[in-house]
Amino acid sequence: MFLCIQGLPLQTHFGFDIKWSMCSGLILYNSPQCDTLKEDVEDFGCFVCVTSPFQLVKMLAVVSFLGFVALHVLSISIASALPATNTVLAAPPAVFTPNPKIGDGGSHYKDSAHFRIYGASDSVADSAIRMLEAAHTCFVEGIGWRSPGLSFRTLNNDGPWYKLNVYQVADGALPGAAAQTWTDHNAGFSFLKVVNKYMTEPGVVVHEFGHAMTYSEKNWVDQTRTGAWWETIANFIADTYISTPVCDKAKQAYNLPTSGGNSLIEVKKVIGDAHQVIVDGTANSGNYYQAWPFLAYITNNPDGYPGLGNQTLLNMIRKYNLNSNETPLHSLARLLGASAPIQKVVGRYWARMAYVDIGHPKAQAVFNSQRSSINFSNLDSNGNGRYTVKSARQPRYFGANIIPLKGITAETIGVTVTAGAPYTATLVVKRAGGAFQYTELDGGKGSVSVAAGEEASLVVANTPSQLIQFDPFSLTAEANKGLSYQVQLTGATA
């Protein structure tokens, strides 16, 4: 009996073609090969596809009762059979093995259970270790990221496990950077280099740890269309660690302050330049370091969309079409399915960014404190309540314009949006009690009631009907094409 774990091909697990092997039966758990492999295994006498962990456990009980011989069975539990997690075949050791061959090595170092710090003083190394061990406890042991102690070339999560090497380097050793994640591609491990004055800064070190975890996950390695998203993910990991309660329990275990830090959100960029491609890697002007609130939104899932939540980002990596070089948005779209099209999700994300209502109080606090300095100049007035989007501010691929409404003169605000391409437009009202109301325009038209002291904004997002393939570091004309639209307002001005 063979078992194929959810979403991963058989050859990934076994290292040889299934039809060359001898076995009494084959069970595929929610595998994409269920339809394509039947002809290859028809002589095995037993071929079953199961799609839920409960069916899986039941089937395992049946084959066990029948006494089928298991030549190669991957151990599995109900918890690990749930969507989006790779099966762990053996428990990791309490202390990982040092691996001085990864990076430059050295004779001056300090060890912890999962890390080796090179070149730092004892006090600096101790501080860095507590921070990194807390991050490991939070993200690897808590959320379920693959440990950087595993080589991505070890495709099963059964070891061996090695310590992640962190090298302190002198100021100026990494021109233009506070730290960098380096890799030994042949061995399948990453290692970190951190400038000495940043060794205890979580915004730097935990950011790099995010890269190390993404590298260990493997599926996005050498996929150039995911490249810019690596920075988006790393900043999301760092912000989660610093300013949300997610890692509080892990921090407490290492006697560290809990989620008292300020959010890393840069509202002048992510909102002020919301018209850019949703993740734009353009040198000197892109947003790929600042675009992480989108990951916070799909993780926190304040709208309760199916397919979103705590495991969404991992699912985007683990359910990525292997070696396809597709964009992460393609992976996300498959997770969402028909129940919540990606166009609707991105449209609502931008609507919530009008007041940073994404389930992240610290990020919203930054917005409230810096709101007056954000560039909201998106429209040109044509008179009589008519407006046209500025050419330079037209929303690009899954970008948006956030337009605070002013001069509210009536109890009802009405709006009509017309455009030559698909879009999602939403009226957002901040009620007197602090609650938010979201009204998506139907056929380009909509209205909302407002009371004295309440605020309203119009959000227009470019949500094309078809996803495109592109590298954010080298935007295509199609990705960078703006959405031209016009607005008619009553009861308020823009």
pTM across the whole model: 0.83
pLDDT for the residue numbered 27? 44
Q: Under a CB-based contact definition with an 8 Å cutoff, are residues 228 and 279 in contact?
A: yes
Kindly report the number of other CB atoms within 10 A of residue 35's CB atom: 9
What percent of the residues of the chain are helix, what percent strand, and what percent coil, each to the nearest 5? 30, 20, 50
Domain ranges of the chain: 2-81, 109-223, 267-490
pLDDT for the residue numbered 410? 86
Q: What is the mean pLDDT of residues 170-194?
A: 97
Indicate the pLDDT class of residue 259, thresholds 50, 70 and 90.
Answer: confident
Beta-sheet pairing, 164-169 with 115-118: parallel
Residue 9 phi, psi (nearest 5): -65, 155
Q: Is the confidence at residue 282, as pLDDT, over 70?
A: yes
Which residues, 6 or more positions from 90, have their beta carbon under 8 angstroms from its beta carbon? 75, 158, 159
Which residues, 6 or more positions from 297, have their beta carbon under 8 angstroms from its beta carbon? 349, 352, 353, 358, 359
Task: Fill in the amino acid letter for 107.
Answer: S
Which of 41 and 267 is assigned the larger pLDDT? 267
* % the chain with pLDDT above 70: 82
pLDDT for the residue numbered 89? 56
At 115, list the tokens.
Answer: 């890390």
pLDDT for the residue numbered 56? 43
Q: Give the model confidence (pLDDT) of 304-345 as tens digits.
A: 999 999 999 999 999 999 999 999 999 999 999 988 999 999
Residue with tokens 């007041």: 355
Kindly report the number of other CB atoms within 10 A of residue 379's CB atom: 22
pLDDT for the residue numbered 156? 83
pLDDT for the residue numbered 409? 87
* Whole-angstrom distance, CA of residue 452 vs CA of residue 50: 57
Looking at the DSSP bridge assignments, the partners of residue 387 are: 381, 487
Which residues, 6 or more positions from 285, have their beta carbon under 8 angstroms from its beta carbon? none
Q: Is the confidence at residue 155, as pLDDT, over 70?
A: yes
* Whole-angstrom distance, CA of residue 123 vs CA of residue 131: 13
344's enclosing H/E stretch is helix 342-352
Q: Is the confidence at residue 477, as pLDDT, over 80?
A: yes
Residue with tokens 């409404």: 405
Kindly report the number of other CB atoms within 10 A of residue 352's CB atom: 23
Residues, the chain, total?
Answer: 494
Q: Give the model confidence (pLDDT) of 41-67 as tens digits.
A: 333 333 444 443 434 433 443 333 333
Handedness of CA 273, 374, 425, 383 (dihedral sign): negative
Q: Give the model confidence (pLDDT) of 196-215 as tens digits.
A: 999 999 999 999 999 999 99
Alpha carbon of residue 171 to chain centroid: 31
